[in-house]
Amino acid sequence: MKLVPEAKHISRLWSVRLAAISAALAAAEASLPMWEAQVPDGAFAALSSLVAIAAAVARVIKQDLPRE
């Protein structure tokens, strides 16, 4: 398997950043019962869904990486 030449700059892409946030939210879902009193009903699900959709939309938008 070969990586694309821009692989070292991949963290600069918004689609990758948003996907990472979405993954972190999915992982945090396991601790959600501890935060029930502080998090309004549906807020976590809405935020998680919004970030996942934003990642998908960002994936199809042209994102320029620095050339070396």
The 3-state secondary structure of 32-52 reads HHHHCCCCCCCHHHHHHHHHH
The answer to whether residue 2 sits within a structural domain is: no
The answer to whether residue 27 sits within a structural domain is: yes
Could you tell me the CA-to-CA distances from 38 to 23, 32, 34, 47 in Å, in that order? 21, 10, 9, 15
pTM of the predicted structure, to 2 decimals = 0.73
User: Does residue 67 surpass a pLDDT of 70?
Assistant: no
Q: Are 39 and 32 in contact (CB under 8 A)?
A: yes
Domain range for 17 is 9-60
Q: Which amino acid, residue 61?
A: I
The answer to whether residue 68 sits within a structural domain is: no
pLDDT in tens, 38-63: 888 888 889 999 999 999 999 898 88
Domain count, the chain: 1
